[in-house]
């Protein structure tokens, strides 16, 4: 699993950089927790809460996640999505009821990202992506 912005497709990387820049200008410290994820790593996450211990964190099977995207030649990651967490007092703030999540969702949408916190069925507040 990667946290490197370089593993995002270039247009997505530009949006992520702008997102982080705006958040920082608003005094919000953000940690990128995932950019590219292999299909094997996706399978492990998908199993969580289903066939392995833990809470369900994704509905995407391997190959269905926008974190799994590769360059057409299959040699390099080109993720269409990234996950973040706001840091408050140096600690990750995973509680989605914290108003900072809505602010971050708005920032993401303002730079052209889709925010999974708006999804109707399975809200993923940390997840931002592009369509294609």
Q: From first to last of the 132 residues of the chain, give the pLDDT tens digit.
A: 899 999 999 999 999 999 999 999 999 999 999 999 999 999 999 999 999 999 998 999 999 999 998 888 877 778 999 999 999 999 999 999 999 999 999 999 999 999 999 999 989 999 999 998
Q: What are 86's two structure tokens? A: 């706001």
Sign of CA dihedral 60, 39, 114, 49: positive
Q: What are 38's two structure tokens? A: 């292999």
């Amino acid at each position: 699993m990667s946290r490197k912005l370089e593993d995002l497709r270039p247009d997505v990387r530009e949006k992520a950089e702008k997102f982080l820049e705006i958040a920082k200008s608003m005094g919000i410290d953000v940690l990128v927790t995932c950019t590219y994820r292999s299909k094997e790593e996706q399978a492990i996450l998908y199993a969580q809460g289903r066939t392995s211990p833990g809470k369900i964190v994704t509905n995407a099977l391997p190959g269905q996640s926008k974190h799994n995207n590769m360059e057409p030649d299959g040699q390099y990651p080109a993720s269409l999505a990234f996950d973040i967490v706001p840091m408050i007092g140096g600690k990750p703030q995973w509680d989605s009821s914290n108003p900072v999540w809505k602010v971050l969702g708005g920032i993401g949408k303002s730079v052209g990202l889709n925010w999974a916190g708006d999804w109707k069925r399975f809200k993923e507040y940390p997840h931002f992506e592009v369509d294609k």
